[in-house]
Amino acid sequence: MSARPMTSPPLNLADALSVLFEVGECRYDRDLHAGPDHPEGEQERAARVQVAREVCGLCPVRPLCLAYALTVRPATGVWAARTAEEIGHLTGTLPKLAEVA
């Protein structure tokens, strides 16, 4: 028996985003994860991000959300309990697809 490398099918971004919007716990209060449309103080932001992380902790589609965020590399918001900055740091440690293909 020969071993085959474990691979995942490519993520369909439109389908993934649809699922996140329909099933994600953040659907009840999008501003909590996206941030307000007005300037936010440091303490206010920290408190909001903490609550958003807690909501993500209860979310049934968190793995999909992380896969989506790692692919899209969002510039703002909280995704799968991680800020966009944290997602950026994670993706910075991963090889790009072109480098492993």
Return residues touching ligand SF4 (CB under 6 A). 20, 24-26, 33, 55-56, 59, 61-62, 65, 78-80
Q: C-beta of 91: minimal distance to ligand SF4 in Å?
A: 16
Whose CA is closest to 33, among 82, 88, 87? Answer: 82
Q: C-beta of 13: minimal distance to ligand SF4 in Å?
A: 14
Angle at CA of residue 36, ends 54 and 68, nearest 5°:
55
Which CB, 81 or 101, lies closer to ligand SF4? Answer: 81
Q: Distance between CA 76 and CA 82 in Å, rounded?
A: 10
Which CB, 40 or 74, lies closer to ligand SF4? Answer: 74
Residue closest to ligand SF4, measured at CB: 24
Q: Distance between CA 32 and CA 47 in Å, rounded?
A: 10
Which CB, 2 or 28, lies closer to ligand SF4? Answer: 28
Q: Distance between CA 48 and CA 22 in Å, rounded?
A: 22
